[in-house]
Amino acid sequence: MELIAFAIAFAVAYQALKGYKLSKERTLLYLHFSFILLGTGLLVDALASMIVVISHLLRGLLFLYSLGYTINFIAQLVAYGILIFLVVYITAQMAINYSINKSSNALLVFGAFASLALAHLFFLMFILIPVFFALAHIAQLFGFLLLLAMLLRVNQAS
């Protein structure tokens, strides 16, 4: 699941960079860097998980898993710090924007960031109830797909 989320995160980052180059809007540049960091963390997490599977065969690689997990944690912490601000700000702005003009792009962005905010909440709650881990990944994937759909629509229109 992390490899799919990594690919989508990098696709979102690429589309955000394209949008930034066209519009010079700094929010898109911050979005680009946030998704690059998040995607990097997801890639490291996926690779670390693969190492865990291999480490059961070769016990010496368990240190690499710990290192990979630490890198993933730091990258996601930085990315989440940026994204939390963007999620709250953009979700509120997109809710207002959608209520005014009812555009499908505004609805896609609002849905994406609301889904990402829900995913972060589920990631925090999975410690209490393990089923939230799967729900968090589904919500995150859905949010990434909605954001990618909006960015593709905007870049096709340009």
Domain residue ranges of the chain, discontinuous segments joined by + = 2-157
Angstrom distance (rounded) from CA 112 to CA 137: 13
pLDDT in tens, 18-52: 888 988 888 888 888 888 888 888 888 788 777 77
What single-letter DSSP state applies at residue 57?
T
User: Who wins on pLDDT, 9 or 94?
Assistant: 9
The one-letter amino acid code at 25 reads E
Task: Give residue-wise pLDDT tens across range 72-128.
Answer: 777 777 776 776 777 777 777 778 888 888 888 888 888 888 898 888 788 878 878
How many C-beta neighbours within 10 Å does residue 75 have? 20
Interval 44-72: pLDDT, tens: 878 877 777 776 666 666 666 677 778 77
* Closest to 105 in 3D by CA, of 152, 35, 158: 152
Helix %, strand %, coil % of the chain (to 5) = 90, 0, 10
